């Protein structure tokens, strides 16, 4: 007879998604009562698994499409306990006392390409919640990073696109603990955001023609997400990602 447990008797192991318990993903608790057939996350992971097996069996003669590449990058990201993840796709790392590094959440970096400029918001000293910090500009337009909390800007580190997207850190700041508490996202929320990102990419994969590695008209390969989706759809994707986090 199958043992049925109520919610009060469930353990951490009982709540683990099948993909977490099989060590395919680092962290994912099931919120669908294990109804895998109607779980979008399950469909995304199964699609990735099938494509990998096909490439291993037949050989990858056409290359990996840009959507597959970005999905793999997103999936490879893991929650880092040494960071405090914030709303608005930002992250801080503790230095000492009330002093922190402030930068971009690494999980969003996989979506940006063709960056021409990181433009400072021009603010100094005390920064208010929802104030513009800097914006990332490319051939597709721009996206603005805004502060999810109040803090004091102590020093700006750099605005070089390559460095800020490699090292992540934009500035050194000072802030009070209540500000972090109100602006942070939990580990569960971070992984939920990752799952939603994969779902968005998979939706595009289902809707768009497969033009990634080779183009039927003989044109050059599509190697960037913004060119694959087109400017308008690419900006819509970024807006959705920023809206959820």
Which pLDDT tens digit goes with each residue over 212-227?
434 434 445 567 888 8
Q: Is the pTM of this model over 0.85?
A: no
Residue 105's SS3 state is: coil
- Which residue stretches of the chain have pLDDT < 50? 1-6, 50, 53-63, 210-219
What per-residue confidence (pLDDT) applies to 146? 93
User: Would you state the torsion angle of the CA atoms of residues 156, 160, 163, 167, taken in this order, to the nearest 10 degrees?
Assistant: 30
Task: Give the full edge-to-edge strand order of the sheet including 132-138.
Answer: 115-120, 132-138, 141-146
For 41-92, how does the pLDDT look when each residue is reduced to its tens digit (9 = 90+)? 777 776 665 455 444 433 443 335 788 888 998 998 899 999 999 999 999 9
In contact, 168 and 86? CB cutoff 8 Å: no
What per-residue confidence (pLDDT) applies to 118? 81
What per-residue confidence (pLDDT) applies to 214? 40
User: Could you state, in order of their start, the residue ranges of all structural domains in the chain?
Assistant: 7-76+187-244, 83-183
What per-residue confidence (pLDDT) applies to 63? 38
Give me the CATH code for the 83-183 domain, please. Answer: 2.40.50.100
Radius of gyration of the chain (CA): 20
């Amino acid at each position: 007879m199958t043992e049925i447990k109520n919610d009060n008797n469930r353990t951490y192991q009982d709540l683990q998604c099948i993909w977490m318990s099989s060590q395919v993903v680092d962290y994912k608790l099931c919120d669908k009562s294990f109804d895998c057939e109607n779980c979008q996350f399950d469909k995304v992971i199964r699609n990735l698994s099938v494509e990998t097996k096909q490439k291993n069996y037949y050989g990858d003669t056409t290359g990996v499409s840009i959507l597959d590449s970005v999905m793999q990058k997103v999936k490879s990201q893991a929650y880092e306990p040494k960071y405090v993840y914030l709303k608005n796709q930002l992250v801080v790392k503790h230095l000492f006392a009330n002093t922190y590094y402030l930068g971009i959440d690494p999980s969003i970096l996989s979506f940006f390409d063709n960056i021409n400029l990181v433009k400072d918001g021009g603010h100094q000293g005390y920064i208010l919640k929802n104030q513009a910090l800097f914006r990332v500009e490319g051939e597709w337009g721009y996206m603005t990073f805004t502060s999810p909390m109040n803090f004091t800007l102590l020093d700006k580190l750099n605005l070089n696109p390559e460095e800020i997207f490699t090292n992540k850190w934009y500035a050194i700041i000072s802030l009070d603990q209540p500000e972090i508490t109100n602006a942070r996202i939990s580990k569960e929320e971070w992984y939920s955001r990752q799952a939603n990102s994969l779902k968005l990419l998979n939706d595009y994969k289902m809707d768009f023609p497969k033009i990634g590695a080779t183009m039927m008209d003989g044109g050059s390969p599509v190697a960037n997400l913004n060119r694959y989706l087109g400017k308008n759809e690419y900006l819509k994707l970024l807006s959705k990602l920023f809206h959820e986090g």
